[in-house]
Amino acid sequence: MQESEKNTRGRSTGPHRFKMKGWISCAPFERLLNIEIVEASDGQAELKMPFFMEYAQGGGLMHGGALVALADTAVVMAIKTRIPAQSHFATIQMESRFLSPVTKGTVTAKARLAEREGRLLKGEATLYNEDGRIVMEFSTTFKMARDTAIRGITFETQGSG
């Protein structure tokens, strides 16, 4: 690990690109969905997930829950590139807009860490079908655990927030 990737306590502060690929192999739900991390660095991530009939709803379209899982995981990977390893955060809000159905091929999620307000991290993802058509837009908010640092800057821990 390079010295620039450590904060003053010697903990890793990112980027974690070379460790990200292995993350899916130890995440049972993401492994079940065959999610693949293509790239994750500097607050951005690209992930892919194939369409399988096991992921379809009754009408033969990819289930919205599978698409949301891909989008959520992509935003998490984007966030993980900007925070120390072993940081804890939880989803407190998410919104999805389904724009086109998926019936075959591979879905690509492109995500980014959009902004940070105190301990809140807001992320966005856009999902594309294999023809490049947007199939879903997604936004989410996560809340960091107290005393978690982003690139060496510790969040305030006063008050109830």
| Amino acid 147: pLDDT | 65
- Say if 142 falls within a structural domain: yes
pTM of the entire predicted model: 0.76
pLDDT at 143 over 60: yes
Domains of the chain: total: 1
Give the residue, 136 or 81, on which the prediction is more confident. Answer: 136
Q: Which residues contact 133 (CB under 8 A, 6 or more apart)?
A: 100
Angle at 5 between CA 121 and CA 116, to 5 degrees: 15
- Say if 157 falls within a structural domain: no
- Say if 122 falls within a structural domain: yes
Q: What CATH number corresponds to the domain at position 29?
A: 3.10.129.10
| Amino acid 2: pLDDT | 41
Spatial contact of 78 and 39, defined as CB atoms under 8 Å apart? no
- Say if 44 falls within a structural domain: yes
For residue 33, what pLDDT band results from cuts at 50, 70 and 90?
confident
Around 76, how many Cα atoms within 13 Å sit in the side-chain half-sphere? Answer: 22
- Say if 132 falls within a structural domain: yes
| Amino acid 104: pLDDT | 95
* pLDDT tens figures, 9-29: 343 444 444 355 555 555 777
- Say if 114 falls within a structural domain: yes
CA distances from 40 to 18, 44, 55, 73, 111 (A): 9, 6, 25, 11, 9
Mean per-residue pLDDT, 142-152:
72
Q: What SS3 class is residue 127?
A: strand
Domain that residue 25 falls in? 3-152
- Say if 158 falls within a structural domain: no
- Say if 119 falls within a structural domain: yes
- Residue found under tokens 């590139």: 81
Mean per-residue pLDDT, 89-113:
96
